Every structure is written in structure tokens, then in C-alpha cells.
Amino acid sequence: MEYSPVCHSLYAFWSSPVKKKLLLLSIMFLIWVYMLYSCVGYCSTMPSLVVDTYRGKESSSPVKRTENTGAGAGVGLVSRLLTKPQPWEDIESDYEEPSVRTASRDLLDADRTEEWDEQQQQMMMMRGFSGGLGLRNGAAEPSAMSSFSSGAGSKKLPQAIIIGVKKGGTRALLEFLRVHPDIRAVGAEPHFFDRNYDNGLEWYRELMPKTLEGQITMEKTPSYFVTREAPARISAMSRDTKLIVVVRDPVTRAISDYTQTLSKKPDIPSFESLTFKNRTTGLIDTSWSAVQIGIYAKHLDNWLQYFPMEQLLFVSGERLISDPAGELGRVQDFLGLKRIITDKHFYFNQTKGFPCLKKAEGSSKPHCLGKTKGRTHPNIDP
């Protein structure tokens, strides 16, 4: 047999117990790194412990809570790196459609400004997050680090969107849906098809959580329903997009909208005086956004120019409260998913006065929506 220096040094290496241990340790280290890599990927689709700790401390403004500056920004970044956006984020939709905004009173403009700041913060955070991880010029170009930290799967444009309506119960629906293992959703409202369209589809896709084969990517932005350009834009992204609209009695919806504004600006005029142009004749001011958003048929017409009725599902905001499992059953059917979310996922919380999840996604504890969902409405003359 021919003498081989390679075989000889390998033999010499293997016969030394210290070197043998070193080799084994290196192999174990490599396996550990591989497992860590896989786990990070897996964890990114798993409930988050990081965020749960602060989520437990109820606050009405999680965005402000975590993502402003200093340590908070750090926690926000880490949580976004390790987890998908969290359920039960109690972000509100204080938008107004532009036409409505012009016609509405100062108070609602101010209201929108406040919300706009909050949304901007959120978006800036998203931009900062993407930028820091290898995005150039807003184009999706994930760096090695981003691929590493966000794990398995790929980011896809949403196949289903909750497009409205504001104050209909959209947050409850999204958070209930997130319990389903085949649904992955963005926690915050991306506002892509109304405010951020110029950022481009790649920017939008980059906001999405990674999904595995067969999983559905979702988002909710209730302002889409009343945005004139939204149907054409969504159709241009994909004509197959499934659209979900949570509708609620338009009068209750208007009061809910008003209550939200009132909570931020207690000095606004009464609901009645904003509703009527002339109280004696009963002439309603349909240009007031709270009324305008509730003219569902008008907005729906716009959607039907681009999508067939079969691609739209109307969820009852009222039944979402009285029979959440029933409504969730309809939604799962519509999305072509197995009915996994059932009665056993919900319980009625007497204190909250609403159905809550026995175990929210991301937690083993029961969870209700935060205090900005389910406000006490002022008494309005029937």
C-alpha cells in the first residue's frame, strides 16, 4: 500500500485523545450553531416571550410603548427580529378618507394628525428595521443577517386582506384569525394601498412575516374600504386577493368612531350636532366622516368594479361579539382553511363584556383586546 501523508496525519490526529475531543467539540459546536439557526427560523413563527412580558402590562399604545427611543427601541427591534408583529396590539384606525377630511371639522383633522404621528412612528420603525438589515433604496434585498434572524419560509404579498370597516371589529377578527396555524399576519396596519403606495410592492412585501408553503399571509387596514384607489391597486397586485369586510350597524359604527375621537379630544361638539346639518329638519351631514364611512353601499360599488362578489366576505361585527366561533367558521371556509378556530378557543370575559381568547397566539394565557377596544359609548338620543 502506498504511503499517504494525508492518511497519516489524519490517523495521528485521531489517535491523540486531546485532538479527538477537540474534533468532537467542533462538531458539536457546528451542530449547535445549526440548531440555533433552525430554531431562530422556527421561533419567528412561534409565540413571542420577549414581547409577552411587556404586553402583559396593559397599555393602550404599544407602538409608543416600545419603539420610540433608547431601550424601548432596542426591545422593539429585538422583538421584531425574533418574532412576527404581535397580536393584541391595540392600534387604532383614526384615518379619514381625503374627501371626508376636507369636509370634516377641525376636530377630526386634529384627530387624524395624532394618529398619523403614531402611524409614522410605526412606519419609520419598520423602515429603520429594514434599512438596518440590508435594504437599499427601499428595495427588498435582505442581508445575510436578516435571512438568518427571520428564519425559514419566505415573505409573500398578502393573499387575503381585511379591508374594513373602521371600528367594525377588524382588530378582533385579525387577532382571532392569528390563532390559526396556517395564517400569518402583520400586527400593525401597513396602510400600503392608501398612504404608502409610492413605497412600492417590495416595500410592502418586506413588511410581511415569513410564511411556509400553504400558509396565508394577511394584513388589516380598515381605511382601504373607503379609499378610492385601493380596489384598483389591490387588483393590480393580484386579482385573486380575498377581501374581508367587517361590517357593523353604521349608526353604532359612527358612534364608536366619535367615541374614539372624544377620548382624545374631550372638547369636541356633541355627536348630535356633528351628525345633523339641521336638527329641526333632520337633515344629516353626510360629509362628516363618521357618517360617510358608514355609507357602505357607496364604497362597495367601487370595489365591485374590480372584484367579483365571490371574492368578498362580509363578516358581521355584531356576530363577531355574540358568536365569534360562528363568524370565524365562515372566515376559515372563505379562506379555504380547515376549521381549527372553534368555540373552545373563546370565553366571554364578564369584566370586559366581550369574547376573549382562552389562549392568544403568543401566549398560554387568556387574552382580551386592550382598553381602546370596547369603549363605553356616550348616551346618544335614539
Ligand X SMILES: Nc1ncnc2c1ncn2[C@@H]1O[C@H](COP(=O)(O)OS(=O)(=O)O)[C@@H](OP(=O)(O)O)[C@H]1O
Residues annotated as catalytic are 167
Residues 17-46, one symbol each (x = binds ligand X by CB under 6 A, - = not), give ------------------------------
Residues 62-101, one symbol each (x = binds ligand X by CB under 6 A, - = not), give ------------------------------xx--------
168 is in an annotated binding site: yes
CA–CA distance, 255 with 237 (Å, rounded to integer): 34
Residues from 329 through 358 that contact ligand X (CB under 6 A)? 354-355
Binding residue (CB under 6 A) for ligand X from 171, 191, 210, 345: 171
Evaluate whether 265 touches 107 at the Cβ level (below 8 Å): yes
CA–CA distance, 48 with 50 (Å, rounded to integer): 5
317 is in an annotated binding site: no
CB nearer ligand X, residue 67 or residue 96: 96
CB nearer ligand X, residue 167 or residue 184: 167
375 is in an annotated binding site: yes
Residues from 253 through 282 that contact ligand X (CB under 6 A)? 256, 259
256 is in an annotated binding site: yes
Binding residue (CB under 6 A) for ligand X from 62, 76, 151, 169: 169
* Per CB under 6 A, 153 contacts ligand X: no
List, in sequence order, every residue forming a beta bridge with 76; answer none if it has no partner: none
- Joined grid coordinates for residue 202: 417590495
Q: List C-alpha distances in Å: 254 to 123, 168, 295, 298, 380.
A: 27, 10, 10, 16, 11
CB nearer ligand X, residue 126 or residue 165: 165
CB of 210 to ligand X, least distance (A): 25
Q: List C-alpha distances in Å: 154 to 171, 192, 205, 238, 249.
A: 25, 20, 10, 18, 39
Q: List C-alpha distances in Å: 33 to 26, 29, 39, 148.
A: 10, 6, 10, 11
64 is in an annotated binding site: no
Write the DSSP assignment of 31-83 as a string of letters.
Answer: HHHHHHHHHHHHHTTS--HHHHHHHTS--S-HHHHHHSSHHHHHHHHHHHHHS
CB of 316 to ligand X, least distance (A): 10
CB of 189 to ligand X, least distance (A): 7
Which range of residues in 97-105, 129-137, 167-175, 292-300 is near ligand X by CB under 6 A? 167-175
Residues 186-225, one symbol each (x = binds ligand X by CB under 6 A, - = not), give ------------------------------------x---
CB of 135 to ligand X, least distance (A): 28
* Per CB under 6 A, 138 contacts ligand X: no
Amino acid in position 214? G
List, in sequence order, every residue forming a beta bridge with 349; answer none if it has no partner: 354
287 is in an annotated binding site: no
374 is in an annotated binding site: yes
DSSP 8-state assignment for residue 365: S
- Joined grid coordinates for residue 306: 374590480
Is residue 22 helix, strand or coil? helix
316 is in an annotated binding site: no
Instruction: Round to the nearest angstrom and report the end-to-end CA distance of the chain.
Output: 102
Which range of residues in 11-19, 53-61, 160-168, 268-276 is near ligand X by CB under 6 A? 160-168
CA–CA distance, 218 with 189 (Å, rounded to integer): 11
* Per CB under 6 A, 168 contacts ligand X: yes
Residue found by looking up cell 387574552 in the block: 367
Chain residues that interact with ligand X, rule: CB under 6 A:
92-93, 166-172, 222, 256, 259, 320-321, 354-355, 369, 373-375
Which residue positions form the known binding site for 3'-phosphoadenylyl sulfate?
Answer: 167-171, 248, 256, 373-377
